[in-house]
Amino acid sequence: MKPTRVFIHGLESSSQGTKGVFFRERYPEMIIEDFLGSFSERMEKLEGLLTGKDQLILVGSSYGGLMAAVYACLHEDRVGKLILLAPALHLEEYHPYLEKTLFLPVTIFHGRQDEVVPMEEVRAIAEAHYMNLTFHVQEDDHSLHATFGSLEWDLLLKKGNKGNGTKIQIGEDLQWV
Protein backbone atom coordinates (compact mmCIF):
# COMPACT_ATOMS: atom_id res chain seq x y z
CA MET A 1 0.00 0.00 0.00
CA LYS A 2 1.33 3.43 -0.96
CA PRO A 3 1.66 6.08 1.71
CA THR A 4 -0.62 9.10 1.70
CA ARG A 5 1.43 12.26 1.27
CA VAL A 6 0.10 15.55 2.64
CA PHE A 7 1.45 19.09 2.46
CA ILE A 8 0.23 21.64 5.04
CA HIS A 9 1.10 25.26 4.26
CA GLY A 10 1.97 28.02 6.71
CA LEU A 11 -0.22 30.62 8.36
CA GLU A 12 0.03 33.28 5.66
CA SER A 13 0.44 30.97 2.70
CA SER A 14 -1.91 28.78 0.68
CA SER A 15 -1.98 25.71 -1.51
CA GLN A 16 -0.93 28.06 -4.32
CA GLY A 17 2.26 29.19 -2.56
CA THR A 18 5.73 28.25 -3.76
CA LYS A 19 5.87 24.98 -1.83
CA GLY A 20 2.31 23.97 -2.72
CA VAL A 21 2.96 24.53 -6.42
CA PHE A 22 6.28 22.66 -6.17
CA PHE A 23 4.64 19.60 -4.60
CA ARG A 24 1.59 19.66 -6.89
CA GLU A 25 3.82 19.65 -10.00
CA ARG A 26 6.06 16.82 -8.79
CA TYR A 27 3.67 14.73 -6.68
CA PRO A 28 0.17 15.07 -8.19
CA GLU A 29 -1.30 12.50 -5.77
CA MET A 30 -0.24 14.57 -2.76
CA ILE A 31 -3.06 16.11 -0.71
CA ILE A 32 -2.59 19.89 -0.87
CA GLU A 33 -5.44 21.96 0.51
CA ASP A 34 -6.02 25.50 1.77
CA PHE A 35 -6.30 25.92 5.54
CA LEU A 36 -7.97 29.07 6.80
CA GLY A 37 -9.28 30.35 10.10
CA SER A 38 -8.26 29.62 13.66
CA PHE A 39 -5.96 26.78 14.67
CA SER A 40 -8.93 24.66 15.75
CA GLU A 41 -10.73 25.31 12.44
CA ARG A 42 -7.62 24.34 10.50
CA MET A 43 -7.16 21.18 12.58
CA GLU A 44 -10.80 20.24 12.12
CA LYS A 45 -10.36 20.48 8.34
CA LEU A 46 -7.16 18.42 8.52
CA GLU A 47 -8.89 15.76 10.63
CA GLY A 48 -11.68 15.55 8.04
CA LEU A 49 -9.27 15.29 5.11
CA LEU A 50 -7.31 12.47 6.73
CA THR A 51 -10.19 10.42 8.12
CA GLY A 52 -9.72 6.79 7.12
CA LYS A 53 -6.20 7.34 5.79
CA ASP A 54 -3.04 5.89 7.27
CA GLN A 55 0.63 5.50 6.36
CA LEU A 56 0.64 9.28 6.32
CA ILE A 57 3.70 11.28 5.37
CA LEU A 58 3.00 14.79 6.60
CA VAL A 59 5.00 17.75 5.32
CA GLY A 60 4.29 20.93 7.25
CA SER A 61 5.74 24.39 6.75
CA SER A 62 5.89 26.79 9.72
CA TYR A 63 2.32 26.92 11.12
CA GLY A 64 1.59 23.88 8.94
CA GLY A 65 4.49 22.17 10.70
CA LEU A 66 2.79 22.91 14.00
CA MET A 67 -0.43 21.40 12.62
CA ALA A 68 1.39 18.30 11.34
CA ALA A 69 3.13 17.83 14.70
CA VAL A 70 -0.12 18.14 16.66
CA TYR A 71 -1.85 15.72 14.28
CA ALA A 72 0.99 13.22 14.80
CA CYS A 73 0.68 13.57 18.57
CA LEU A 74 -3.00 12.72 18.30
CA HIS A 75 -2.62 9.94 15.70
CA GLU A 76 0.90 8.56 15.88
CA ASP A 77 -0.34 5.12 14.82
CA ARG A 78 -1.50 6.57 11.47
CA VAL A 79 1.53 8.75 10.72
CA GLY A 80 4.55 7.11 9.14
CA LYS A 81 6.77 10.16 8.96
CA LEU A 82 6.90 13.89 9.67
CA ILE A 83 8.87 16.34 7.55
CA LEU A 84 8.76 19.76 9.18
CA LEU A 85 10.02 23.00 7.62
CA ALA A 86 10.78 25.64 10.26
CA PRO A 87 7.88 24.31 12.36
CA ALA A 88 6.23 26.73 14.80
CA LEU A 89 6.50 24.31 17.73
CA HIS A 90 7.17 27.19 20.10
CA LEU A 91 3.58 28.47 19.87
CA GLU A 92 1.08 27.83 22.65
CA GLU A 93 -1.00 25.48 20.48
CA TYR A 94 1.79 22.91 20.92
CA HIS A 95 2.07 23.32 24.71
CA PRO A 96 -0.53 20.61 25.53
CA TYR A 97 1.70 18.09 23.70
CA LEU A 98 5.03 18.95 25.33
CA GLU A 99 4.82 15.84 27.53
CA LYS A 100 4.19 13.58 24.51
CA THR A 101 7.05 11.51 23.11
CA LEU A 102 6.92 10.45 19.46
CA PHE A 103 8.92 7.54 18.08
CA LEU A 104 8.14 7.94 14.37
CA PRO A 105 10.77 9.39 12.00
CA VAL A 106 10.83 13.20 12.15
CA THR A 107 12.99 15.29 9.82
CA ILE A 108 13.23 19.04 10.40
CA PHE A 109 14.78 21.62 8.11
CA HIS A 110 15.31 25.04 9.68
CA GLY A 111 17.04 28.11 8.29
CA ARG A 112 19.82 29.58 10.38
CA GLN A 113 18.66 33.09 9.38
CA ASP A 114 15.01 32.44 10.30
CA GLU A 115 13.61 35.60 11.89
CA VAL A 116 10.07 34.25 12.29
CA VAL A 117 10.40 30.94 14.17
CA PRO A 118 13.25 30.68 16.72
CA MET A 119 15.44 27.80 15.59
CA GLU A 120 17.11 27.02 18.92
CA GLU A 121 13.80 26.95 20.78
CA VAL A 122 12.31 24.63 18.16
CA ARG A 123 15.40 22.41 18.21
CA ALA A 124 15.21 22.07 22.02
CA ILE A 125 11.52 21.11 21.84
CA ALA A 126 12.15 18.65 19.00
CA GLU A 127 15.11 16.99 20.73
CA ALA A 128 13.06 16.51 23.89
CA HIS A 129 9.99 15.00 22.19
CA TYR A 130 11.04 13.24 18.99
CA MET A 131 13.08 10.11 19.62
CA ASN A 132 13.81 9.52 15.92
CA LEU A 133 14.82 13.03 14.88
CA THR A 134 17.03 14.37 12.12
CA PHE A 135 17.45 18.15 12.39
CA HIS A 136 19.01 19.97 9.43
CA VAL A 137 20.27 23.52 9.91
CA GLN A 138 20.18 25.24 6.52
CA GLU A 139 22.02 28.40 5.49
CA ASP A 140 18.68 29.95 4.67
CA ASP A 141 15.75 32.04 5.91
CA HIS A 142 12.36 31.09 7.36
CA SER A 143 10.83 30.15 4.00
CA LEU A 144 13.91 28.14 2.99
CA HIS A 145 13.90 30.02 -0.33
CA ALA A 146 17.49 29.10 -1.21
CA THR A 147 17.40 25.40 -0.30
CA PHE A 148 13.82 24.10 -0.46
CA GLY A 149 13.88 23.06 -4.12
CA SER A 150 17.22 21.29 -3.81
CA LEU A 151 16.20 19.03 -0.92
CA GLU A 152 16.02 15.31 -1.78
CA TRP A 153 12.21 15.19 -1.90
CA ASP A 154 11.95 11.83 -3.69
CA LEU A 155 13.92 10.22 -0.86
CA LEU A 156 12.26 12.25 1.90
CA LEU A 157 8.76 11.34 0.72
CA LYS A 158 9.42 7.61 0.59
CA LYS A 159 7.85 5.37 3.17
CA GLY A 160 10.29 4.22 5.83
CA ASN A 161 13.73 5.79 6.20
CA LYS A 162 13.67 4.96 9.89
CA GLY A 163 16.75 5.90 11.84
CA ASN A 164 17.48 5.70 15.51
CA GLY A 165 18.52 8.49 17.78
CA THR A 166 18.87 12.17 17.06
CA LYS A 167 21.00 13.58 14.27
CA ILE A 168 21.74 17.26 13.82
CA GLN A 169 23.04 18.36 10.43
CA ILE A 170 24.66 21.76 10.11
CA GLY A 171 25.75 22.36 6.54
CA GLU A 172 27.77 19.29 5.50
CA ASP A 173 28.49 18.15 9.07
CA LEU A 174 26.32 15.47 10.68
CA GLN A 175 26.42 15.15 14.45
CA TRP A 176 24.76 12.51 16.67
CA VAL A 177 23.50 13.65 20.03
Mean pLDDT for the stretch of residues 164-172: 48
Each residue of 118-141: pLDDT tens digit? 999 999 999 999 999 999 999 999
Question: Is the pLDDT at 28 greater than 90, yes or no?
Answer: yes
**pLDDT value of residue 166:** 47
Mean pLDDT for the stretch of residues 142-168: 80
What average pLDDT is seen over the chain? 91
Question: Is the pLDDT at 177 greater than 80, yes or no?
Answer: no
C-beta contacts of 78-82 below 8 A and 24+ residues apart: 78/50, 78/53, 78/54, 79/104, 80/3, 80/55, 80/56, 80/104, 80/105, 80/159, 80/160, 81/3, 81/56, 81/57, 81/105, 81/106, 81/107, 81/159, 81/160, 81/161, 82/58, 82/106, 82/107, 82/130
In which domain, by residue range, is 18 found? 4-176
Question: Is the pLDDT at 52 greater than 80, yes or no?
Answer: yes
Question: Is the pLDDT at 40 greater than 60, yes or no?
Answer: yes
**pLDDT value of residue 92:** 97
CATH number at residue 154: 3.40.50.1820
Q: How many distinct structural domains can be found in the chain?
A: 1
